[in-house]
Structure formats: C-alpha cells, structure tokens
Amino acid sequence: GVGKTEVAKVMAAILGTELIRLQCYEGLDANTALYEWNYPRQMLELRLEEARGEKKEDIGHNIFGPDFLLDRPLLKAIQYQGDSPPVLLIDEVDRSDEEFEAFLLEVLSDFQITIPEIGTVKAQQVPFVVLTSNRTRELHDALKRRCLYLWIDYPTFEKEMDIVGSRVPDVQEELSRQVCGVMQLMRTRDFYKKPGVAETIDWALALMSMGSNELDTDTVDATLGCILKYKEDIEKIQEDGVGQVIEKARMLRERMVRQAKA
C-alpha cells in the first residue's frame, strides 16, 4: 500500500509507452504468463478444413501458427513492436512459487523464448521491467542480482499531504492534515496490517462523500473500515478510545510541523 505498482504506471506514462502487467499468484505457471494456444479456434479450423474437403494429411497443418497463439504478458512484452520499449510490471512476484521464479529468471536473462511449434522469439527492444514484492517470502539471490533494489517506505507527513492533494484535489487542507496525521500515528502501532497510502486516499474520499470537514469521534469510528482491514486492529483502536487517537494524532502532527520548520 505504499505505491510500488504506481511506480510502473508513472514510468510508462512518462516514457509514453505501454504498461504490460503480469499479476503473480500462487500456482502461476509458464503457460499463463507466456502464451497459450487458442484451442477453440484450432478445433473450429479443423472442422472447417474437414468441411472444405481438405486432404486428410493436410488437415491441421497450420493450427500451430501465430494466428492461433494467445500471447500472455511475458510474450507480449518480448514481441512488442511499439516505437519505444514497453514497461513490464511483474507484480507481487513473491506470491509465485520458486519454480516459476526460476523460469522467470531464465526469460529475463535473455529476453527470448522458444515456442516449439514456431521457433525462438527474441525481443527486438528489451522492455523496462519492474518487479514488486511484499516480502511474503525471500526471492532467490540470482533474481535479485539482476535487479536494481529500491525500498519504498511509508511517506513522511509532508509527502503524504502532497499525495492526498494530488489524488484528491478537492479535499480541504485542514481535513487532509488531520487525515495524514492520524495515518502517521496508525503506522506506529503494532497492527496486523498497517494502513498504506491507498487507505489514506480511500479514507479522504469517504470523508468527502460524507460531507465531513474535520475529524470527530463519530466520523472516525464510522469509517475505521477504510483504514484497518482486520477486526483485531479495529478493536485495538476502539479499546484505546477513538477520541484519544484523534488527540494523539493532533499532537504528533503539531510536532512534525514544528520539526519541519526548525
């Protein structure tokens, strides 16, 4: 929730090129990431050839050609024909298994793949590759060696104010200041899932839709689900008292402002 995926989106926008996204998950295999054959179209072609009275030995000779290939994100990035290289986002790579990670390492080393029925497809222009990870497991050193490592932490109070102002331009400055102050405080707590920038934006939008101009106990209590996604985390805040949280956030915010001016 700190904006890792947004890096690839902004990068593609700045470069004026296409963003190709591969969303990783447990059980992801090479076929899903690379290419698949369009089996329904192949079967239809076989039936059409039979109906046309093609010779038996000629039926199906062309069904494993490019016209029957469904390109998935990796193949799409490799054979991209645009004016500039695409941005290939491999999102949450740590969710995939080690076998797929090894396959990915092979593809990213040479930027070429071999399709047995067609031959080798090599990238004419190497794509910009962005891999994101939430550290649910450690990635192999061989893959990390091929990457430039960037750790994206939670933003400072001032930076988060800028982000909210950019993504929710109609929000009042005082409400934005209060929201960001509470979020900074929330991230100091020992929660199961600390709220990220995405939750900050969602919360600001929810408060605006409710017509709120400032935070109060009832408003925060009614919208805690925008910030915290686990029952245990919400109960911790409710046990402390929402009013106390708002006051602590105000004190933290004022201290941050003083430090920024110093």
Say yes or no: 195 and 218 in one domain.
Answer: yes
Residues 168 and 242 placed together within one structural domain of the fold: yes
Residues 29 and 119 reside in one and the same domain: yes
Q: Residue 115: which of 175, 64, 181 has the closest Cα?
A: 64
- Decide if pLDDT at 242 tops 90: no
Residues 94 and 166 placed together within one structural domain of the fold: no
Residue 215 and residue 94 in one domain: no
pTM above 0.85, yes or no: no
Q: Pick from 115, 145, 175: which residue ends a domain?
A: 145
Query: 171 and 79 share a domain?
Result: no
13 and 136 fall within a common domain = yes
Report the Cα–Cα distance between both ends of the chain, in Å, rounded. 30
pLDDT per residue as tens digits for the range 8-55: 999 999 999 999 999 999 989 888 898 888 888 878 877 877 777 766
* Domain termination site, one of 93, 118, 145: 145
Same domain for 99 and 186, yes or no, is no
List 131's β-bridge partners, or say none.
90
Residue 143 has which token pair? 């893959």
Instruction: Say how many domains are in the chain.
Output: 2
* pLDDT of the residue at 66: 79
Give the end of a domain, one of 145, 170, 200: 145
Q: Is residue 151 part of a domain?
A: no
Same domain, 122 and 177: no
Q: Which two tokens stand for residue 11?
A: 């990068």
C-beta separation of 38 from 68 below 8 A:
yes
pLDDT exceeds 70 at position 58: no
Position 57 in a domain: no
Q: For position 9, which CATH number holds?
A: 3.40.50.300
Contacts of 88 (CB under 8 A, 6+ apart): 20, 22, 73, 74, 77, 127, 128, 129, 130
Classify residue 67: in a domain, yes or no: no
Strand partners, 122: 112
Which residues constitute the domain of residue 112?
4-34+72-145
pLDDT digits (tens, 9 = 90+) for 90-109: 999 999 988 888 888 888 88
User: Which residue in 169, 174, 231, 230 sits closest to 201, CA to CA?
Assistant: 169
Is position 44 within any domain? no
Q: Is there a single domain that holds both residue 101 and residue 122?
A: yes
pLDDT band at 195 (very low <50, low <70, confident <90, very high): very high
Per the domain annotation, does 219 fall within a domain?
A: yes
Q: Is residue 60 part of a domain?
A: no
Q: Cα 181 vs. chain centroid, distance in angstroms?
A: 25
One domain, residues 127 and 167? no
Same domain assignment for residues 16 and 120: yes
Q: Residue 42 domain-assigned?
A: no
Residue 74 confidence (pLDDT) above 90: yes
Predicted pLDDT at 232? 92
Angstrom CA distances, 48 to 43, 60, 63, 167, stand at 9, 10, 12, 53
